[in-house]
Amino acid sequence: MATRFTKGFIDGLVCEKTGKHDSDIYFDSEVSGLAIRIYPTGKKRYLIDYRLAGRQRRMSLGSATILTVDQARRLARAKLSEVL
């Protein structure tokens, strides 16, 4: 289920999984394909999720400590328009 990303929402996210290679992914309701991945270490990265030639692809956009939600949305729109 998608949720509208806000700074408060992003700051409050914690990874529910504890394995070394586990992560949780949440999707934005405003920009289709924009997501954030949260690792057990607390690291958070924005990414885009899309299909190309029938295959699912993911592209990292950057750290949530560097990009704001608005910057991530603009970057996601730009990258999605390039790849689709």
**How far is 24 from 1, CA to CA, in rounded Å?**
13
* pTM (whole model) above 0.75: yes
**How far is 56 from 49, CA to CA, in rounded Å?**
7
pLDDT tens for each residue of 18-72: 888 889 999 999 999 999 999 999 999 999 999 999 999 999 999 999 999 999 9
**How far is 60 from 37, CA to CA, in rounded Å?**
9
Nearest C-alpha neighbor of 11 from the set 76, 75, 65: 65
Output the pLDDT for position 1. 75
pLDDT tens for each residue of 21-36: 889 999 999 999 999 9
H-assigned helices in the chain: 7-12, 69-83
